[in-house]
Amino acid sequence: MVSLIRCQPGRISSLHSQDKMALQLRRKTHESVLYIDTDSAPRIIPSGEDFILEDLPVGTRVIYPKPPIKGLPNREAAIRYALNHPHETEPLYAQLYPGMRVTIALDDISLPLPPMATPDIRQSVLEVLLDLMSANGVDDVHLIIANSLHRKMTEWEMKRMVGSRIFNEFYPDRYYNHDAEWDDGLVKLGETRHKEPLRVNRRAAESDLLIYVNINLVPMDGGHKSVAVGLCDYESLRAHHEPQTIRDSDSYMDPARSELNHKIERLGKLVDEHMNVFHIETAINNRMYKGEMDFLIKNEDDFSAFDRMKFEAMRLAMSKIPRAARRKILHSVPAQYEMIACHAGKTEPVHAKIVEKCFDQYAIPIKGQCDILITGIPDISPYNVYSVLNPLLVQVMALGYHFNFYRNKPLLKKGGVLILQHPCYDEFDHNFHPSYIEFFNRLLPETRDAVVLRDKYEREFATNPSYVEMYRRGNAYHGAHPFFMWYWGENGRQHVGKVIAAGAENAHVPAMLGWDRADNLTEAIAMARSYMGRSAEITMLHQPMIGIADME
Amino acid sequence: MEESLAAAAFYDLEGTLVSTNLVHTLGFYARNQQGLLRSIKKSAATVLSLPLFAVTDQYSRKVFNDLFFQRYKGETEDRLRYFSEELFEDVLKPAVYPGALELIDKSRRLGLRQVVVTGALDISVTPLMRYLGIEDYVANHLEFVNGEATGRLLPPMIAAATKASWMRSFAERECLSLSDSYAYSDSMSDLPMLSVVGHPAAVNPDMRLRQTALHHDWPILNLK
């Protein structure tokens, strides 16, 4: 059995001093980057609801998240300051007058991940905003969750997000989810010069003022995406959520080189022409866990005896309970994010400030691409909150999110091997992901070509009356959503030479997704080396992490 | 290039598009007999039969129908027709699920033929079909002799497997593709109907149909 306590001083001392120096130097490229040595501890790798320990080959580069930036000491004061000192517009209080119609749109449950400890930042912003509304005689206020084609949030989730007081006052008549399939509730704003249509929430569009409250977890979030995507309909979304746009985004985590972002900016200008938007954006640090779980984001070489004990205790306890219970437990642990910046005002200057802060937190300078990229897939994604990480979501996390966490050029060389660690179980949530099931079982056996899938089937799924009803009346993702998830992995799919699913408990899920499978990570690395050569450079993203590889 | 066939959306009615079932209709007619005494007697008989209906429905839809429609024996056709509008206004119209109209509207906009396949009586559902804007429907027909119901149904009895065979014939006659068609039902007895189309869905399903739908990965809708 692999143990965390690994030290072989004899072997280290037998190394030539020159080799030792080389290793030492390699370790010091950045505080978040280290190289596996002969005396390194095994690494903790998430694999769905489990955490496994694996010895990595000597020389493997491991990338950790950056240390969290200290949170702002007084969240409410920072919010008030932002509202009173907005960018390129009047302070919010100066824009309010009695009798006006105000809509406040909020990011949905896909942000942040996992859901943060209460009070949620949105609650804090809303409390300040609603006091301000009340003081200025503004009564006609609606709160709309900008869920776009995501599933609608449940009553319990909505209450948790804004707190009981606001919930009791506004729900359900004045606090509700956006409905992208309610024709009467949508209004067309027009088209961009590239003929991209935009139809958005009518209440938001016809308000005297739309205030958007955002939480920015990654650089892809926020900005014009908030309104132009969060409050739009299917036809508007399909103009940019399509394979070629994703292929042309290098990466979609880098706004400057993201075709997706360029298209959304065009739509944003359309929004600004027709709507009065006051944008409030917040940036958070990356303190996903603290206390009992903080060892998950620490360097294993620096583990204390207590850290090892906590990990072993967790592993033992989790091994005794079924997967569904493990999932439930993990989903009940809230993230401990802290707000590190808040800006308000016009969308573009606000977003620029927040993205800058995001990169301060997430950008890790990395020199040199790798041949083999290893990433564990934890049970965390924007689309499986309180649900199952089904095979399509494993795909989007690996080839979409984890692959795209780079700036300038991919961390993995063109044609390299991506190894993901996940059981790849064939499990779907029937309430949240009904159309995913049909997509996976009916369409993927026919083709994995994103363009063919879009042309042949996307509209059929989008208009399937069953899926429309489940989206509108239930808590299902829109019928077209599994297609977007497939496109989301498109530039990863075009770039990698091979994907290996390590630890996959079956053969058919990896096969359906076009991947090889391996029983464990060691076998996967051997397979990858046989493909890329014995001298292949290996890099591992230490999950769970949010970090952008800032490639030199 | 081969031209693709049109398709349809087939709906079960009671429990699927409306919250009422056959017993509500029977109860309505029982309450509206000639004379108070007769109404009380018929209503009491209907209530007392409920456990029997429940048991036979679990056992076999055919046996249930044989027993159930016996309760109409002696009813006159003109009386049933006369009260059908009232039945619609008082019982059926308020029982239409909020999501049903929307589901039909979405389906219609896709160019799907709208077809109701129900085990209810044709006399009682005609006004409802008009309200839903559905021209194609098949329902059961009571046998009348000299204007009075015999308590038997005219063949083919629309229930369970016969719904599926009727759908097949209808699709063939109308050149519809069943693979591209949709079917919606709330009851396990309609499993054949759901199984013959390419896009089946369970609507407000009972426990057994819910389990089956989960097993087959069919969408489960709640139109309530």
CA distances from A181 to A373, A382, A473, A474 (A): 40, 21, 11, 13
- Domain extent, residue B212, equals 8-221
Taking the CA of residue B107 and the nearest CA in chain A, the distance in Å comes to 6
Say if A408 is an interface residue toward chain B (CB within 8 Å): no
Residue A290 pLDDT grade (very low, low, confident, very high; cuts 50, 70, 90): confident
> B interface mutation test: which of A430, A432, A459, A466 has the most B CBs within 10 A?
A466
Q: How do A197-201 and A186-191 pair as beta strands?
A: antiparallel
Rounded CA gap, A493 and A478, in Å?
A: 24
Look at B201 and A466 and tell me if their CB atoms are within 8 Å: yes
Give residue A535's pLDDT: 93
Maximum alpha-carbon separation in chain B = 68
Side-chain half-sphere exposure of A191, counting CA atoms within 13 A: 7
With respect to residue B109, please indicate whether it lies within any of the assigned structural domains.
Answer: yes
Using alpha carbons, select from A225, A290, A214, A236 the residue that is nearest to residue A260: A225
With respect to residue B116, please indicate whether it lies within any of the assigned structural domains.
Answer: yes
Side-chain half-sphere exposure of A536, counting CA atoms within 13 A: 24
Residue A539 neighbours by CB under 8 Å, 6+ apart: A60, A61, A62, A63, A370, A372, A373, A374, A411, A412
With respect to residue B3, please indicate whether it lies within any of the assigned structural domains.
Answer: no
Do A459 and A412 share a domain, yes or no?
Answer: yes
Q: Which of A249, A284, A319 is the last residue of a domain?
A: A284
Mean pLDDT of chain A: 94
Using alpha carbons, select from B81, B68, B92, B65 the residue that is nearest to residue B32: B81
Give residue B37's pLDDT: 77
Q: With contacts defined as CB-CB under 8 Å, which chain B residues touch A475?
A: none
Do A57 and A88 share a domain, yes or no?
Answer: no
With respect to residue A266, please indicate whether it lies within any of the assigned structural domains.
Answer: yes
With respect to residue A352, please indicate whether it lies within any of the assigned structural domains.
Answer: no
Say if A154 is an interface residue toward chain B (CB within 8 Å): no
Domain count of the fold of chain A: 2
Rounded CA gap, A45 and A214, in Å?
A: 31
Give residue A17's pLDDT: 52
Q: With contacts defined as CB-CB under 8 Å, which chain B residues touch A464?
A: 199
Do A100 and A158 share a domain, yes or no?
Answer: yes
Using alpha carbons, select from A85, A202, A106 the residue that is nearest to residue A161: A106
Whose tokens are 């994907």? That residue is A499
Using alpha carbons, select from A6, A53, A140 the residue that is nearest to residue A319: A53
Rounded CA gap, B42 and A513, in Å?
A: 62
pLDDT (mean) for A18-35:
67
Phi-psi region of A83 (alpha: psi -120 to 50; beta: other; left: phi over 0): alpha
Taking the CA of residue A321 and the nearest CA in chain B, the distance in Å comes to 24
Say if B216 is an interface residue toward chain A (CB within 8 Å): no
Rounded CA gap, B143 and A175, in Å?
A: 54
| Range from A2-6, A306-310, B64-68 carrying the lowest mean pLDDT | A2-6
With respect to residue B1, please indicate whether it lies within any of the assigned structural domains.
Answer: no
Do A58 and A94 share a domain, yes or no?
Answer: no
With respect to residue B112, please indicate whether it lies within any of the assigned structural domains.
Answer: yes
Say if A467 is an interface residue toward chain B (CB within 8 Å): yes
Do A508 and A426 share a domain, yes or no?
Answer: yes
Say if B4 is an interface residue toward chain A (CB within 8 Å): no
CA distances from A98 to A133, A142, A213, A396, B203 (A): 9, 15, 22, 46, 46
Paired with A412 in beta bridges are A370
- Give pLDDT tens digits for A64-93: 999 999 999 999 999 999 999 999 999 999
- Give pLDDT tens digits for A486-538: 999 999 999 999 999 999 999 999 999 999 999 999 999 999 999 999 999 99
The ipTM estimated for the assembled molecules is 0.85
Taking the CA of residue B106 and the nearest CA in chain A, the distance in Å comes to 6
Backbone angles phi, psi at A395, to 5 degrees: -60, -45
Say if A278 is an interface residue toward chain B (CB within 8 Å): no
Do A164 and A205 share a domain, yes or no?
Answer: yes
Whose tokens are 């497997």? That residue is B161
Rounded CA gap, A344 and A278, in Å?
A: 7
Domain count of the fold of chain B: 1
With respect to residue A341, please indicate whether it lies within any of the assigned structural domains.
Answer: no
Residue A514 sits in a domain whose CATH number is 3.90.226.30
Look at A469 and B110 and tell me if their CB atoms are within 8 Å: no
Say if A430 is an interface residue toward chain B (CB within 8 Å): yes
Do A260 and A137 share a domain, yes or no?
Answer: yes
Do A123 and A182 share a domain, yes or no?
Answer: yes
Side-chain half-sphere exposure of A209, counting CA atoms within 13 A: 27
Do A56 and A126 share a domain, yes or no?
Answer: no
Say if A473 is an interface residue toward chain B (CB within 8 Å): yes
With respect to residue B175, please indicate whether it lies within any of the assigned structural domains.
Answer: yes
Q: Which of A284, A317, A343 is the last residue of a domain?
A: A284
> B interface mutation test: which of A473, A475, A478, A481 has the most B CBs within 10 A?
A473
Residue A34 near residue A24, CB atoms below 8 Å: no
Residue A369 near residue A412, CB atoms below 8 Å: yes
Look at B214 and A438 and tell me if their CB atoms are within 8 Å: no
Rounded CA gap, A204 and A183, in Å?
A: 14
With respect to residue B195, please indicate whether it lies within any of the assigned structural domains.
Answer: yes
CA distances from B60 to A451, B166, B190, B203 (A): 48, 19, 12, 21
Residue A64 near residue A321, CB atoms below 8 Å: no
For chains A and B, what is the number of CB pairs under 8 angstroms? 46
Length of chain B: 224
Mean pLDDT of chain B: 90
Do A377 and A248 share a domain, yes or no?
Answer: no
With respect to residue A165, please indicate whether it lies within any of the assigned structural domains.
Answer: yes
Taking the CA of residue A467 and the nearest CA in chain B, the distance in Å comes to 7
Look at A428 and B201 and tell me if their CB atoms are within 8 Å: no
Cis peptide bond prior to A114, omega within 30° of 0 = yes
Q: Which of A284, A315, A346 is the last residue of a domain?
A: A284
Tokens of A207: 């308000």
Tokens of A312: 């072993």
With respect to residue A15, please indicate whether it lies within any of the assigned structural domains.
Answer: no
Residue B70 sits in a domain whose CATH number is 3.40.50.1000
Do A458 and A540 share a domain, yes or no?
Answer: yes
Look at B219 and A472 and tell me if their CB atoms are within 8 Å: no
| Nearest Cα residue in chain A from B98 | A473
Give residue B69's pLDDT: 85
With respect to residue A191, please indicate whether it lies within any of the assigned structural domains.
Answer: yes
- Give pLDDT tens digits for A411-453: 999 999 999 999 999 999 999 999 999 999 999 999 999 999 9
- Domain extent, residue A83, equals 75-284
Say if B188 is an interface residue toward chain A (CB within 8 Å): no
Do A114 and A213 share a domain, yes or no?
Answer: yes
Using alpha carbons, select from B105, B138, B106, B102 the residue that is nearest to residue B120: B138
Rounded CA gap, B145 and B61, in Å?
A: 25
Residue A243 sits in a domain whose CATH number is 3.40.50.11440
With respect to residue A414, please indicate whether it lies within any of the assigned structural domains.
Answer: yes
With respect to residue A277, please indicate whether it lies within any of the assigned structural domains.
Answer: yes
